Chain A
Amino acid sequence: MVISMKKIEAYIRPERLEDIKIVLEKYRLNGMSIMQIMGFGNQKGWKEIVRGTEVDYNFLQKIKIELVVLDEQVEQVVDSIVETSHTGEYGDGKIFIYDVADAVRIRTRERGEDAIK
């Protein structure tokens, strides 16, 4: 059995999540997981002023989206995420794409591509 699935891992600005969800809905993806994470890249942290004193927060709130799609969907989905998340400023995030070896739908024991359809 040839498995042709990819896992897409996207680190995005939290405020872009709603829009990305709306855009991705049109690809009829069968699932998507999100995680609220803290992290930093080139943007580094942010400052909050508490009673006149600066307080540093080293990590920023980000959202990590994970979804597994068929090979032929990858470009469309990645393009959509880039299109929706891009502002041109530091902190827009990153996308990583991985090969997926296999998948199992626990309810039915289906394997491979069937498990994500």
Chain B
Amino acid sequence: MDHGDVAWILTSSALVFIMTPGLAFFYGGLVKRKNIINTIMSSVVLMGLASILWVLIGFSLSFSGDIGGVVGNLDWFGLGFDGFTDATFAPNTLLFAAFQMMFAIITPALITGAIAERMKFSSLVFFTALWSLIVYYPLAHMVWGGGYLAAIGSVDFAGGNVVHISSGVTALVLAILLGKRKNYGKATYHPHNIPFVLLGAALLWFGWFGFNAGSAGAANELAVHAFMTTNTSAAAALLSWLLIDTLKTGKPTLVGASTGLVVGLVAITPAAGFVPIWSAIIIGALVSPICYFFISVVKPKLGYDDALDVFGCHGIGGIWGGIATGLFAQNSINEVAQWDGLVFGSATLFLRQIAAIGITIAVAVVGTLIAFGIVTLFTKGIRVSKKDEELGLDISEHGEAAYPAFNGMD
């Protein structure tokens, strides 16, 4: 066991962990002040729930053995392997389990932005547990555990499919099933604490170095490469979002900068360890206009209420990232990519990327419908009452107020 690798992956695991409370602040700042505690809590509860599920069955179902290329088995129930010696996953299987656990925490947390301000907390907890079981573990297995998506030769460096497309598509389906917020379209739902939004986005950026550079699996040149593509894409997307802001409204906004950097990180996630650094500028610069167009033009036409644009940012940004990987990947950077991307003259990888995106969407849609059906049955409807929605979910679900002595209606 290479202790340099161990040190880096341990560090990366802690970096990915901080992304979930970061996400909580990112989302919390975007909602109305009467719902910030509920929104933050939706991520925080997963730091407990998804961790325990992962230790008990999640890691085993994702990475132990293989059943039909779709899911793992239960041989590693309760992390039942020798943590000191097992090196099925280099440099150490227990370390790999710890690193991957952080991904299993943040992915369901991403979904919670779409259903903010109106979903019953009990239903959300139940849903995310079931969703982890039906959607996340199978997808992690298919992409990284030697399952079907790896077998067809598609690549996903740090989780464009597993994390972002899956959570983004789930967010879309769940937001449609849940229905719009009471005053959606009549009242404006504007962010109530923009500094919190940036605080969260900054923690996400910081943590994303572990997310992407840690996904190299070792303290090596590839990790350094992924670190640099990650930062470059985030930077380009931040700037291009500010440019759109300025062109459209005349003023660059902090919410725009925060959103831009996040979608830049989303887009580079599947590509970070496969594409040249110059292409990270293109991937990042283009993701902002793509997401901006989707959120400001397509979403209002379709009329669903994805409260914090989880699909618009993670779904659409993730799909662009998967496609961009098929465009710019180079076998010489990372031989896990068996073919070069489309811009280097080969369409093979590109087509397999498209196929992988399609399969991910299908798994997420079907899994979400099943989980929704079960949760609706057991928690008698997943939506809070009209009165509780007006009162705010902080009081109705948690009996706490974020700003008890502070005036403000936003």
Contact = CB atoms under 8 A, between A and B. Distances in A.
Given A22-B186, A48-B400, A48-B401, A15 B387 contact: yes
Contacts of A48: 399-401, 404
Contacts of A57: 404
Contact of B408 (A16, A18, A22, A36): A36
Nearest to B391: A15
A17 interface: yes
A24 to B, nearest CB: 13
Interface in A12-49: 14-19, 22, 34, 36, 48-49
A87 B390 CA distance: 13
B183 A18 contact: yes
B188 to A, nearest CB: 10
Contacts of A87: 387
A16 B390 contact: yes
A91 to B, nearest CB: 11
Contact of A36 (B183, B399, B404, B407): B407
Contacts of A18: 182-183, 186-187, 390
A15 B390 contact: yes
B395 to A, nearest CB: 8
B66 to A, nearest CB: 47
Interface in B170-205: 182-183, 186-187
A63 B390 CA distance: 13
B117 to A, nearest CB: 13
Nearest to B187: A18
Contacts of A17: 409
B367 interface: no
A10 B404 CA distance: 22
Interface string B369-410: 000000000000000000100111000000111001001110
A111 B225 CA distance: 72
A67 B409 CA distance: 18
Contacts of B408: 36
A81 to B, nearest CB: 16
Contacts of B404: 48, 57
Nearest to B392: A15
Nearest to A21: B187
Contacts of A34: 409
Contacts of A22: 186
A93 to B, nearest CB: 14
A100 B231 CA distance: 63
A36 B391 CA distance: 14
A61 to B, nearest CB: 8
A15 B34 CA distance: 10
A36 B408 CA distance: 7
Contacts of B399: 48-49
A34 B390 CA distance: 17
A17 B187 CA distance: 11
A22 B187 CA distance: 9
A17 B390 CA distance: 9
A70 B391 CA distance: 32
A75 B407 CA distance: 31
A53 to B, nearest CB: 13
A7 to B, nearest CB: 21
Nearest to A57: B404
A15 B407 CA distance: 14
B187 to A, nearest CB: 5
Nearest to A35: B407
A23 to B, nearest CB: 12
A33 B156 CA distance: 54
Contact of B409 (A16, A19, A36, A49): A36
B238 to A, nearest CB: 34
Interface of B: 182-183, 186-187, 387, 390-392, 399-401, 404, 407-409
18 contacts: A14-B409, A15-B390, A15-B391, A15-B392, A16-B390, A17-B409, A18-B182, A18-B390, A22-B186, A36-B408, A48-B399, A48-B400, A48-B401, A48-B404, A49-B399, A57-B404, A63-B409, A87-B387
Complex A-B, nearest 7 residue pairs according to Cβ-Cβ distance, in ascending order: A15-B390, A36-B407, A15-B391, A18-B183, A18-B187, A48-B399, A36-B409
